[in-house]
Amino acid sequence: MNLNSWDKITERYDLKNPLKRLWSRNEVWVELFDEQLAGCKRILDVGCGAGAICIPLAMKGYEVCAFDLSDKMIRLAKKRAEELKTSVIFLICDSHNLPAKDNSFDATICKFALWPLKDVERGIKEMIRVTKPNGKIVVVEVDRTDNSMHKSGPRWKIKYHVCKMLNFLTRERSKKHRSAWNAIKESVKSNPKINSEHLSDLMEKNGCMVYHVDKSIKEKTTGILGRICNLMPPYFLMAVEK
């Protein structure tokens, strides 16, 4: 994983950016996780980024630890938590080697943080390891397939160019950010594709029981510009019990 590249795009994840809501409705994401965490108190957020999920969950009363590999992401998340007078324990670490004891958390959550991993199963095993027996693991990912992004036809091409224009107008436009994203995409080319079937198999292989899968979350969480563009494959939320 290109760590330096993640540090370079930190500003795009700033929760204070008002344009983010045009693409994604963070308050809906928080509620979706909250629904699955009933009965849980101590939560671990793996790949927390700038704290979009862990900080609001802490504000709801959960005891939250949050890990990310990017130092700049963690610093931004800490700053935001301090501004909101919210307590979250933030640590810099690799998802392949979580610095937590076995059976430490009532639940472990992970939002769009499996796809960058070179060894997805090892990351899954680590999340399972640190979760208490009968605890919950809640994962959100893009439902990727071999042909999920290979669309064609004039309508799709028009939508693609409209999306590029909207992205240019509302998101970070610097060459530094574009270069960083290209480096990230290049670094994960050989990674295994994550989809709901693959993840379900991995969870069950490692002793967990899948009890909930929601494939309608993209429609629930996408903002107005995201709906206009709609180029990405569907998302899924999977909840399992250890």
Angstrom distance (rounded) from CA 158 to CA 177: 24
pLDDT at 39: 95
Structure tokens at 33: 């996780």
Residue ranges in the chain whose pLDDT is less than 70: 1-23, 146-192, 223-232
pLDDT at 194: 83
pLDDT at 230: 63
Neighbours of 121 (CB within 10 A): 14
Q: What is the pLDDT of residues 71-127, one digit of tens each?
A: 988 999 999 999 999 999 999 999 999 999 999 999 999 999 998 888 999 999 999
User: Alpha helices of 100-189 — where are they, by DSSP H?
Assistant: 120-130, 154-170, 175-187
Q: Which residues partner with 222 through β-bridges? A: 24
Angstrom distance (rounded) from CA 23 to CA 228: 9
pLDDT at 85: 96
Tell me which residue has tokens 């574009």: 178
From 192, 193, 183, select the one nearest 2 (Cα to Cα).
183
pLDDT at 150: 45
Neighbours of 140 (CB within 10 A): 21
Neighbours of 77 (CB within 10 A): 27
User: Domain residues for 58?
Assistant: 3-241
One-letter amino acid at 6 equals W
| Count of domains forming the chain | 1
Which domain CATH number covers 193? 3.40.50.150
Q: Are 90 and 78 in contact (CB under 8 A)?
A: yes
